[in-house]
Amino acid sequence: MAKISIKVIILIILALSVVAGGFYYFYYYQAQENYLIPGVPYYGFYNHFFDADSTLVTSVADILGYWGDEVDLPALFSMFAPADDKEGNLVYPTTLQLQKFFQERGYETYRWASNQPGGEINEIKKFVNQDKKIPVIVYQKRSFVSDNQRRAFRVVIGLSDHDKKVTVHDYTFGNNFQISYADFNKMFLTDARAVLAVWPTSDLNQKIKGPNYSATYPGRLAVMDKMGDYLIRPSDMYFASLNKDYINALKMLQEFISDEKFNSLPPVYRLYFNAFLARVFLYLNQPDKAIETITNRVLPLNSSLDEPYDGWTEQLSYFKNNNYSRASLAYPYYVLGLAYIAEGDKELARKNFEEALKINPDSKLAQEALQQLK
């Protein structure tokens, strides 16, 4: 067999190198991204708490608002409310259901999901870049504390390979919140790693306004940097109460309210959680403590509801003028009415149920309570 010349060997090696390089480039290479999509709105706790107390709802609203589509927060809140399964457990919507929602609304979608770590950032780069400008919804842990497994949605609006950081709109950590690549990857759940990108079809594009790229992001509020993990704690109290673990719910509520950060919250938020505390006292058959809590902690807050509060984007007049706020402001009187029933004073109970209905005429709780007193 004739000897292969050195020149041929070199040509073969070069050819193989080109093929290998092309293969790597096509399958593995990702362009460097250092881009923040302009104009993605933020619908989070700090300006829409009573309209959308849900990381899912706010993430959907961020996307719809970005594309210039209609955002109806109460409708979304009702649409994506958790449902009970056969065992009585709450079941929350998944990225598959979100994908179906967007498709039915006229959007193209791309969903990536995996049970194995790796590839998350690269999947996001396919959309969060200067060419496509498509923010994506990610399904992760709600908290950055490693032992907190509460699940949540957030919206990725930017990536920086230079700083190795992801920028997100997060319900409780605020707008333009930056997370390192390493921490961001740790935030994905081991059994449910998902990324969802949506963009309007050509037909839908004719009906909606489209992105407002001239919109600038507001700076992060000072409260956002200290309240994130603190604001996650109410969900634990809520689930303890749903599971009728009232002793644990009471303990968590008292710790939450006694924390110095509680006084940094708007008065209407403090009102709501003190009323929740009173309700738990009732569950524990302690109506006297419920009455004391409403009388001494809740009702005095009514006098400050119209005052501005430092460090927040909305004034309390906003909270007093939407349906969810009216429900929250009426709730203490409903709880007080229940407490007086437990004390045997039906007349005072009736007066408080009527007061609840003055504030929120749609309160089914107060309506039903009054009917039972007849």
Structural domains of the chain, ranges and CATH numbers in brackets = 34-205 (3.90.70.10), 224-373 (1.25.40.10)
Tokens 């690269």, residue located? 122
pLDDT value of residue 341? 95
At residue 28, the pLDDT reads: 44
Q: What is the pLDDT of residue 29?
A: 46
What's the pLDDT score for residue 24?
A: 46
Report the Cα 248 to chain-centroid distance in Å: 24
According to DSSP, the residues that pair with 70 across neighbouring strands are none
Q: What is the rounded CA–CA span in Å between residue 356 and residue 353?
A: 5
343: part of which helix (H) or strand (E)? Answer: helix 323-343
The per-residue pLDDT for 316 is 47
Instruction: For residue 136, give both structure tokens.
Output: 């994506």
What residue type is assigned to position 212 of the chain? N
Tell me the pTM. 0.82
Smallest Cα–Cα separation from 174: which of 220, 229, 233, 234? 220
Q: What is the pLDDT of residue 162?
A: 94
> Is the CB of residue 279 less than 8 Å from the CB of residue 267?
no
CA–centroid distance for 290 within its chain: 30
What does the angle CA 76 – CA 97 – CA 209 come to, to the nearest 5 degrees? 50
For the stretch 266-278, pLDDT in tens is 887 888 899 999 9
**Which residue spans within the chain are E strands per DSSP?**
34-36, 83-84, 90-91, 107-114, 136-141, 151-160, 165-170, 174-180, 193-200
Q: Which pLDDT score, from 0 to 100, does residue 279 have?
A: 95
Q: Nearest-CA neighbor of 35 among 144, 140, 126?
A: 126
- Phi/psi at 171 (5° precision): -55, -50
CA distances from residue 357 to 276, 279, 304, 330 in whole angstroms, order as listed: 18, 18, 21, 7
The whole-angstrom separation of Cα 263 and Cα 268 is 11
Residue 205 to residue 28: CA distance in whole angstroms: 33
pLDDT in tens, 102-140: 999 999 999 999 888 888 999 999 999 999 999 999 999
For 166, how many CA atoms within 13 A lie in the half-sphere containing its CB? Answer: 26
Burial of residue 142 (number of CB atoms within 10 Å: 0-12, 13-18, 19+): buried
Q: Quote the pLDDT of residue 10.
A: 63
Report the Cα 325 to chain-centroid distance in Å.
Answer: 18
Which portions of the chain are predicted below pLDDT 70?
A: 1-5, 7-31, 84-90, 146-148, 304-324
